[in-house]
Amino acid sequence: MAEEVNYDESNIRSLDWKEHIRMRPGMYIGKLGDGTSYDDGIYILLKEIIDNSIDEFVMGNGRTIDISIKDGIVKVRDYGRGIPLGKVVDCVSKINTGGKYDSRAFKKSVGLNGVGTKAVNALSEFFKVESIREGQIKRAEFSTGDLTVDADVEESTQRKGTKITFVPDTTIFTNYQYKMQHVEELLWNYAYLNRGLTINFNGQKIYSENGLKDLLQKNLSEEPLYPIIHLEEDDIEVAITHTNAYGEDYYSFVNGQYTTQGGTHQNAFREAYVKTIRDHFNKNFDTVDVRSGIVAAISVKVLEPVFESQTKTKLGSNEIAPDGPTMRTFVNDFLSKRLDNFLHRNPEATEAIHKRIIQAERERKDLAGIKKLAKDRAKKANLHNKKLRDCKVHFNTNHERKDETTLFITEGDSASGSITKARDVQTQAVFSLKGKPLNSFGLTKKIVYENEEFNLLQAALNIEDGLEGLRYNNIVLATDADVDGMHIRLLLITFFLQFFPDLVKNGHLYVLDTPLFRVRNKKKTIYCYSDEERRAAIEELTGKPEITRFKGLGEISPDEFRGFIREDIRLDPVVIGKETAISNLLQFYMGKNTPDRQKFIIENLKVEKDLPEEILK
């Protein structure tokens, strides 16, 4: 019988603004992370501050933003209007306080709920705001949201604007580190969306002349089949081209905010593009064929946008403005006019688009018979084998936790058995490989359906026709940390890059980081993920601790494994440089051996003679 718990007035608590943010940071900035992923919390903090400076620029105030990140100290300085001096403290420490509730001051802003800067303040061990306007400066300092310095207004000769300095709280963001690659990508997106804006970051000038055209040009991973189409009007801008790669690739933005998960504007573009192409050629092309190989960017300006989360990664607004046209109508009217006109005036690009559609159509029809047999085989296999041990989220059709779903792809009965016993059955599934998968480099998609392992894996993920039906948000490669395990990992990454590059580009693919050593004595056990951690553990556990080197996942007991794939899971995202052509990347690593690759292997290979003797025991 459950223990009875008293429930009375003493159980009721009222949290002030900063306590709630610090107790439930995920509600305000999404996941915390350690800086490895581009959407980790420390980047959201940075973005929340920059968004305010961008809003100033959009409203015609200040054309430069200075940003620096050094030794964990973040500084953002704009040259906009500056916060009204009498409201500086309120604007950074009182929820639901800010100028963006007044549409006369901010018309098409990203942050409309008055929370962003306050969240940064509450989650920073040091936070300073300085506002300069009308020859005066007001400064205030905080520590974890508590006001520590409330300086008097003083005279100043500085240029008007706002300067924010903050240091993320290390008790919340443990072992974090800003990756400059992620920061630069964030800042370049701001520049692409705000032509004329100069961002000075750690001595580097970030500036774009051609907006989304520059973005697409820089981020293309394959050679375009025709020059980028660049179209724009007051509240919408698009850039479009095609490559010979599989899948679709989109970059979508709302009021300068990068909506990594898309939303109503991206869906409207995808529909409107297909309709415009069909109408132009007067042919009822299949949707999949029309969008095969497309690379596009779309940016819209929306009055009072509604996002599906505080981190604003997916637009939920169905209208451009209250009482305005629907998003679908707005985007369709734009493309049906501007894109159709472009196609009439540029026959070479039009012909290239037509050829790409015919190529996709021919391949799809060639695969039709094979795909039917493959689907039947996949259904039969799911009934008669245990390659896929699914999670209960799907059995219960509970999509509220879909973002938490994970599929571990592993090899061997012992490894898959350990993970299966240790997993969270609600959200974590396991797919067991049988031996090493095929090297799919240079092969056509036909192999996906003819190869049993690939066919069953594709069916488990439900990605045959794109990512819309993807059943797991995180796909994790869980292989042994030996030569065979590394090879299996490489073959799987090749498979996804070759046939489903969107899955990698959209941040769904990870590698499971498991400990290499266990160092323990009678009082304490430490799991180590590197030789450096092993040495530190030996020093911490004085005497002669027991040292175990894990050579395979199957050697780790389910009880131990539970700690490595639950709350404390370590995942290394598979990130492909945007400027790297995937075909060239695969050619180098998975194609025929070349002198360049031999040199790379020789320079980077660690053999056993290079490793400390105690590791090899």
| pLDDT at residue 102 greater than cutoff 50 | no
pLDDT tens per residue, range 443-500: 888 888 888 888 889 888 988 877 778 899 999 999 887 788 888 999 999 999 888 8
CA dihedral 68, 70, 72, 78 (to 10 degrees): -10
* pTM (2 d.p.): 0.71
Q: pLDDT confidence of 613, banded at 50, 70, 90?
A: very low
User: What is the C-alpha separation between 617 and 609, in angstroms, rounded?
Assistant: 13
DSSP E strand stretches across 550-610: 571-573
Per-domain boundaries in the chain = 17-206, 212-359, 385-514+552-616, 517-549
Burial of 547 (0-12, 13-18, 19+ CB in 10 A): middle
What is the helix (H) or strand (E) element at residue 46, kind and residue range? helix 41-58
Altogether, the residues listed in the chain come to a count of 617
The pLDDT assigned to 152 comes to: 93
CATH architecture of 212-359: 2-Layer Sandwich (3.30)
The pLDDT assigned to 610 comes to: 45
- For the residues 193-208, what does the mean pLDDT come to? 94
User: What is the C-alpha separation between 570 and 574, in angstroms, rounded?
Assistant: 13
DSSP secondary structure of 308-341: SSTT--SB--SBSSTTS-BHHHHHHHHHHHHHHH
Report the percentage of the chain scoring pLDDT > 70.
85
Q: pLDDT confidence of 105, banded at 50, 70, 90?
A: very low
| pLDDT at residue 101 greater than cutoff 70 | no
Q: pLDDT confidence of 14, banded at 50, 70, 90?
A: low
Distances (CA, A) of 492 to 345, 409, 452, 498: 44, 9, 14, 10
The pLDDT assigned to 109 comes to: 52
The pLDDT assigned to 403 comes to: 76
pLDDT tens per residue, range 389-417: 888 876 555 556 777 899 999 987 778 88
The pLDDT assigned to 531 comes to: 86
Query: Fold match between 17-206 and 385-514+552-616?
Result: no
User: What is the C-alpha separation between 406 and 510, in angstroms, rounded?
Assistant: 10
Q: Which residues is 510 bridged to in the sheet?
A: 476, 573
Q: The tokens of 5 are what?
A: 């718990």
- For the residues 96-118, what does the mean pLDDT come to? 52
CATH of domain 385-514+552-616: 3.40.50.670
Q: In this predicted structure, which of 207-221, 418-432, 588-602 has the lowest mean pLDDT?
A: 588-602
Radius of gyration over alpha carbons of the chain, in Å? 27
The pLDDT assigned to 240 comes to: 97
| pLDDT at residue 607 greater than cutoff 50 | no
Q: pLDDT confidence of 378, banded at 50, 70, 90?
A: low
Q: In what order do the strands lie in the sheet with 546-549?
A: 525-528, 517-520, 546-549
When the pLDDT of each residue in the chain is averaged and rounded to a whole number, the result is 84
| pLDDT at residue 37 greater than cutoff 80 | no
| pLDDT at residue 2 greater than cutoff 70 | no
Cβ atoms of 216 and 241 within 8 Å: the answer is: yes
pLDDT tens per residue, range 299-341: 998 888 887 765 677 888 888 888 888 999 999 999 999 999 9
The pLDDT assigned to 444 comes to: 83
> Per residue in 448-472, is it b (16+ CB within 10 Å) or e — as a string?
bbbbebbbbbbbbbebbebbeebbb
The pLDDT assigned to 143 comes to: 94
Is beta strand 236-242 parallel, antiparallel or unpaired with respect to 294-300? antiparallel
Instruction: Give the Cβ contact number of residue 81 at 10 Å.
Output: 19
Q: Is 304 left (phi over 0), alpha (psi -120 to 50) or beta?
A: left
The pLDDT assigned to 397 comes to: 52
Say which CATH topology domain 17-206 has: Heat Shock Protein 90 (3.30.565)
Q: In this predicted structure, which of 49-53, 210-214, 231-235, 568-572 has the lowest mean pLDDT?
A: 568-572
* Amino acid found at 374: A
